[in-house]
Amino acid sequence: MALGRSPQTDASNPGVTLFVLDLLRFRPDWREAAVVDQSVRSLLTHWRTRRPLGPCEFGIGTRFLQTEFPFLRYNLLSYVFVLSFYPQAHDDPCFDEALGELRNRIDEYGQLIINRPNRRFGGLKAIVKGQGSPLATRRYLEIQDNLT
């Protein structure tokens, strides 16, 4: 069956939902809109269910839980980063769990360790698999600022 014409497409795609929320964070007048609140809740629920959703089969499994940088796909770092801009997510236990998973990836120098560097950026010294990344750490610190 052609993409966009099957029952699978009735489900919201969490990756696209996250990317739209990432755009809407620049529109403070939208942050409290009902559709935004529903989208934030949907992503937080996805943390609990973890089941694949949408035609692209976005789920929360071992690949999602690896820190990937820069943000090009639906993964733990982008999930926590984007949701940190929405106050309605801050007190949710699912957000706390996801943030805790991310905190577990901080090395002894306070740097966020990258588990999956995007292969398109493989030559950059600031994004090396298994090492702390100053660029990704900057995003982690922005998350912390959003929570205060």
Per-residue model confidence as pLDDT tens digits over 6-34: 555 555 688 889 999 999 999 888 877 88
Q: Which residue has the higher pLDDT, 4 or 18?
A: 18
What does the pLDDT read at residue 117? Answer: 85
Average pLDDT, the chain: 87
What does the pLDDT read at residue 7? Answer: 59
* CA–CA distances in Å: residue 37 to residues 77, 106, 147: 20, 30, 17
* CA–CA distances in Å: residue 38 to residues 11, 70, 71, 93, 104: 14, 26, 23, 16, 28
What is the distance in angstroms between the CA of the first residue and the CA of the last residue of the chain?
48
For the entire predicted model, the pTM comes to: 0.87
The residue with tokens 């403070």 is 28
Q: Which of 14, 12, 15, 133 is nearest to 73 (CA)?
A: 15
The pLDDT tens digits for 28-79 are 888 778 889 999 999 999 999 988 876 667 788 888 999 988 877 889 999 9
Q: Which residue has the higher pLDDT, 137 or 8?
A: 137
Share of the chain above pLDDT 90, in %: 57
Domain spans in the chain, listed from the N-terminal domain onward: 7-146
